[in-house]
């Protein structure tokens, strides 16, 4: 029997875990594949990391690089320094990276310089905003990847525009939605709403963690102005990211938040609890990337508190609306939701729960073995 194909799956920050879970699962179902799961330690709090492994049934990582929080350069460099010896020791044939966090670019860069093939899952997304650290991570990771797996057609256009050869690019769907579809029933069984005293569709969910929103006192205060008005209508549940928690103290906003009646601050939630909270909300207000996609599938209106999105299909086919951070604009969009203006959605093509299988099939099929790829594996030019 031929030597097993060695595949290293790298992850590190909260949104990575939902993306790597179905890939690790699909790899485990392949014969003659050896998987190495590496956690960079970019996120390390139990609520930001370990709980997701439990909720999503991801096996314990084989290696944890334990890098932790730091400035961008120190964190990215730290991951690279720690990941290189792991690659040298295990000699994987492939490194799979997901999403757009610092762990993504750091692991991709180490692998490509060692001559290891790199597959980027969730390639091609572009916000057009180079002040976002994630946008830089996306552009650079895509430029050095051997295989690029795209969630939506805009990704094919973006990569073609940047000169990425079409035979490296596959439109396969969305691994984050694989996870959502698989976990949906279990998430419905969460008792979170009962614990918080909430009824379905009678509250809003909010998440905020983008530096541009939570590190700027003027922007953050403006968002809170809008939230104060919204809480006069329905309560707003706010699972708070550690970065945002630090900012509240640093910017002197903690007292205001503590006294904002109707704003329910809770610790970061696990995946199943958060999906329960999101699926049953009247509306979600967020600056997250992935939540724009999850609300599209859940059919819940999503007001994105940003001026751009790298996921345009969630607007054209989903429930997402770009609202920005102006309080009046947030309130106007909220009023549209309450008046039941149209926020209907159709699931984007291939967001069907099988993206990870397509990815694993592509990576594990030797070059030249597939003469006629099935439709969903068709590359940009096919
Ligand atoms: C990172 C990603 C972002 C992603 C987000 C999801 C980058 C550049 N950013 O942002 O794209 O949307 O994760 O959560 O990779 N902290 C803790 N405990 C933890 C992790 C972080 O307290 O387990 C605190 C630390 O003070 C840290 C801060 O949060 O400095 C920010 O963490 P970091 O990983 O640098 O970036 P995120 O804002 O989480």
* Domain tally, the chain: 2
Position 50 in a domain: yes
CATH number assigned to the domain comprising residue 221: 3.40.50.2000
Q: How confident is the model at residue 341 (pLDDT cuts 50, 70, 90)?
A: confident
Q: Which residues contact 4 (CB under 8 A, 6 or more apart)?
A: 32, 33, 34
Q: Which residues contact 19 (CB under 8 A, 6 or more apart)?
A: 11, 98, 99, 121, 122, 175, 176, 179
Position 181 in a domain: no
Position 345 in a domain: no
Prediction pTM value = 0.95
Indicate whether 335 and 355 sit together in one domain.
no
Does residue 135's CB lie within 6 angstroms of at least one atom of ligand 1? no
Indicate whether 20 and 139 sit together in one domain.
yes
Q: How confident is the model at residue 378 (pLDDT cuts 50, 70, 90)?
A: very low
Candidates 209, 246, 259, 354; catalytic one: 209
The predicted pLDDT at position 342 comes to: 81
Position 344 in a domain: no
Tell me, in angstroms, the distance from the centre of ligand 1 to residue 289's CA.
14
Indicate whether 224 and 164 sit together in one domain.
no
Does residue 44's CB lie within 6 angstroms of at least one atom of ligand 1? yes
Containing structural domain, residue 253: 190-339
- CA 296, CA 298: separation in Å to the nearest integer? 6
Tell me, in angstroms, the distance from the centre of ligand 1 to residue 43's CA.
6
Lowest-confidence pick of 143-157, 225-239, 304-318, 329-343: 329-343
The one-character DSSP state at 258 is: H
Indicate whether 160 and 16 sit together in one domain.
yes
Q: Are the CB atoms for 170 and 362 separated by under 8 Å?
A: yes
Indicate whether 123 and 41 sit together in one domain.
yes
Indicate whether 314 and 358 sit together in one domain.
no
Q: Are the CB atoms for 4 and 34 separated by under 8 Å?
A: yes
Of 12, 49, 15, 20, the C-alpha closest to 119 is 20
Position 37 in a domain: yes
Indicate whether 241 and 163 sit together in one domain.
no
Indicate whether 246 and 109 sit together in one domain.
no
Indicate whether 135 and 210 sit together in one domain.
no
Indicate whether 277 and 159 sit together in one domain.
no
| Other CB atoms within 10 Å distance of the CB of residue 110 | 23
Tell me, in angstroms, the distance from the centre of ligand 1 to residue 98's CA.
16
Position 180 in a domain: no
In this predicted structure, the answer to whether residue 119 has a pLDDT above a threshold of 80 is yes
Indicate whether 332 and 357 sit together in one domain.
no
Q: Are the CB atoms for 380 and 169 separated by under 8 Å?
A: yes
The one-character DSSP state at 234 is: S
Question: Which phi and psi (to 5°) does residue 181 adopt?
Answer: -60, -45
The predicted pLDDT at position 58 comes to: 98
Percent of the chain with pLDDT over 70: 96
In this predicted structure, the answer to whether residue 52 has a pLDDT above a threshold of 50 is yes
Does residue 42's CB lie within 6 angstroms of at least one atom of ligand 1? yes
Indicate whether 116 and 153 sit together in one domain.
yes
- Tallying the residues shown for the chain, one arrives at 382
């Amino acid at each position: 029997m031929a030597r097993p194909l060695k595949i290293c799956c790298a992850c590190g920050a909260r949104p990575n875990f939902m993306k790597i879970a179905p890939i690790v699962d699909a790899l485990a179902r392949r014969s003659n594949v050896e998987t190495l799961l590496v956690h960079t330690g970019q996120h390390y709090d139990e609520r930001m990391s370990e709980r997701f492994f439990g909720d999503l049934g991801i096996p314990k990582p084989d290696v944890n690089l334990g890098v932790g929080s730091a400035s961008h350069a120190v964190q990215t460099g730290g991951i690279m320094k720690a990941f290189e010896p792991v690659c040298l020791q295990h000699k994987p044939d492939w490194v799979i990276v997901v999403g757009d966090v610092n762990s993504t670019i750091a692991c991709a860069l180490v692998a490509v310089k060692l001559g290891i093939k790199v597959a980027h899952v969730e390639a091609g997304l572009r916000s057009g905003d180079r002040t976002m650290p994630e946008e830089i991570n996306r552009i650079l990771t895509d430029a050095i990847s051997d295989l690029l797996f795209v969630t939506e057609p805009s990704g094919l256009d973006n990569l073609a525009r940047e000169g990425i050869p079409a035979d490296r690019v596959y439109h396969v769907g969305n691994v984050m939605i694989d996870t959502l579809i698989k976990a949906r029933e279990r998430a419905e069984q969460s008792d979170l709403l009962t614990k918080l005293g909430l009824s379905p569709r009678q509250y809003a969910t909010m998440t905020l963690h983008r530096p541009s929103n939570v590190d700027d006192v003027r922007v953050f205060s403006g968002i809170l102005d809008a939230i104060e008005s919204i809480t006069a209508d329905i309560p707003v549940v706010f699972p708070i990211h550690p970065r945002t928690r630090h900012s509240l103290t640093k910017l002197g906003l903690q007292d205001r938040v503590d006294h904002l009646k109707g704003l329910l601050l809770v610790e970061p939630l696990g995946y199943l609890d958060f999906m329960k909270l999101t699926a049953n909300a009247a509306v979600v207000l967020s600056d997250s990337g992935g939540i724009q996609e999850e609300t599209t599938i859940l059919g819940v209106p999503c007001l994105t508190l940003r001026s751009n999105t790298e996921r345009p299909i969630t607007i054209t086919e989903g429930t997402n609306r770009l609202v920005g951070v102006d309080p009046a604009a947030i309130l106007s969009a909220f009023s549209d939701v309450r008046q039941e203006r149209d926020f209907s959605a159709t699931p984007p093509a291939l967001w069907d729960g099988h993206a990870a299988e397509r990815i694993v099939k592509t990576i594990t099929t030797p070059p030249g073995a597939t003469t006629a790829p099935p439709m969903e594996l068709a590359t940009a030019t096919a």
